Amino acid sequence: MVATILHLTGPLLVGPEDVRAEAWVLDGRLTFERPTAAGHEVATLAGWVLPGLVDAHCHIGLGPQGAVDRATTERQALDDRAAGTLLIRDAGSPADTRWVQQRVDLPKLIRAGRHIARTRRYLRDFAWEVEPDQLVARVRQEARSGDGWVKLVGDWIDRDTGDLAPCWPREVLVEAIAAAHEEGARTTAHCFGPDSLRDLVAAGTDCVEHGTGLEPDTIEAFAAAGVAVVPTLVNIATFPRIAEPARERFPAYHRRMLDLHARRHDTIGAAHEAGIPLYVGTDAGGSLRHGLVAQEIAELVRAGMAPVEAVAAGTWGARAWLGRPGLVEGEEADLCLYDADPRADPATLAAPRHIVLRGVTV
């Protein structure tokens, strides 16, 4: 069998301002040095080259009613791959998806294990449901079984008060997050409302999902502490639909969700202006379809990020934050080619011309 060298004729966007003219893929790995072609076929791929897109909030193996079967999980991963998403940070799944990591044809997956929620304070069959005195032990278990991340549910509707409310006492969060760090894991948390954000930043969380309740004081605190936010604006767009069934029974919650939705772009724009690290995530898997990274990047632009910043939040910057390489000499070639420069027009990300995963054109 004759091996094939891929010749990438670029431009290659190694970084926002680092542009190379060409590169090659040999034995699945990227090189900027022309290899010897003897004994190989050479296939040329032309286009604007980016590292594979990153979805930093994606639920592989999760559906609206909880865990899904392997066939459905595979379809989810393939839908992400078809959109150019080649690196996924799982943000909680009740399914054991370690088998996905063994499939060389599926996107690379960083697992966070299963959500950890307060008893009867989250979606049924999604999370481990525990009480505060059990949180630290469960965090340690998930830290040991995942890939360096633990996912908490920071707030949800409290039916006694009829509005969003924090799920955990602050002092318990302090212990739980410290336990995750002792186990070598970072923590992130689902947060819609404002109060849980105050508790989590004070407790030392590394990241927050959604962050719709950010206000001037928490924006300042997050920026000072360097806490990242994955806004999932394509999911926040569905808040009116989520809130509608609660209009009569929980009017305060209904009003809160509509307010968070109405100011979502202003909130995330203020967070970006303050210097809070923002990364691309779609929240695909629960109720949203997979493959929405390009739409999320467009939403970040709408929130005030420059196009190149929004692209970075789903490529170079996200990969650095997650400790995964981009277009680096000797690393596995995970990349996409586009018809135009996505830094100038992120809309081009919606239609990759070629997708290369682990050095193989898929």
Give pLDDT tens digits for 35-61: 987 778 999 999 999 999 999 999 999
Per-residue pLDDT at 131: 98
pLDDT for 237-286, tens place per residue? 999 999 999 999 999 999 999 999 999 999 999 999 999 999 999 999 98
Per-residue pLDDT at 166: 98
Q: Which helix (H) or strand (E) holds 144?
A: helix 132-145
pLDDT for 187-222, tens place per residue? 999 999 999 999 999 999 999 999 999 999 999 999
pLDDT for 156-165, tens place per residue? 999 999 999 9
Name the band, by pLDDT with cuts 50, 70 and 90, for residue 2.
Answer: low
What phi and psi values does residue 51 have, to the nearest 5 degrees?
-60, 150
Per-residue pLDDT at 39: 78
- Beta-carbon contacts of residue 66 (< 8 Å; ≥ 6 apart): 94, 124, 125, 126
Radius of gyration over every alpha carbon of the chain, rounded to an integer in angstroms: 21
Per-residue pLDDT at 198: 98
- Structural contact between residues 286 and 59, judged by C-beta atoms closer than 8 angstroms: yes
Residues above pLDDT 90, as percent of the chain: 96
Q: What does the DSSP assignment read for 9-75?
A: -S-EESSSS-EES-EEEETTEEESSPPP-TTEEEEEE-SEEEEPEEEEEE-TTEETTEE--HHHHHH
Beta strand 3-8 with 128-130: parallel, antiparallel or unpaired? unpaired
Name the band, by pLDDT with cuts 50, 70 and 90, for residue 23.
Answer: very high
- Structural contact between residues 264 and 232, judged by C-beta atoms closer than 8 angstroms: no
What average pLDDT score do residues 84-112 get?
97
Is 350 strand, coil or helix?
Answer: helix
The number of CA neighbours under 13 Å toward the Cβ of 144 is: 7
| 298: number of Cβ within 10 Å | 19
Distance CA 200, CA 208 (A): 8
Strand partners for 62 = 67
Distance CA 314, CA 294 (A): 9
What phi and psi values does residue 191 have, to the nearest 5 degrees?
-145, 120
The number of CA neighbours under 13 Å toward the Cβ of 265 is: 13
Residues above pLDDT 70, as percent of the chain: 99
Distance CA 206, CA 277 (A): 11
Rounded to 10 degrees, the C-alpha dihedral 45/46/49/54 comes to -50
Of 3.40.50.1000, 3.20.20.140, 3.90.79.10, 3.40.605.10, the CATH number of 53-322 is: 3.20.20.140
Domain positions in the chain: 3-50+326-361, 53-322
* pTM of the predicted model as reported, rounded to 2 decimal places: 0.97
Per-residue pLDDT at 119: 97
- Beta-carbon contacts of residue 87 (< 8 Å; ≥ 6 apart): 52, 53, 54, 55, 107, 108, 110, 318, 319, 322, 324, 334
Residue 1 has pLDDT above 60, yes or no: no
Architecture of domain 3-50+326-361: Roll (2.30)
Distance CA 336, CA 85 (A): 9
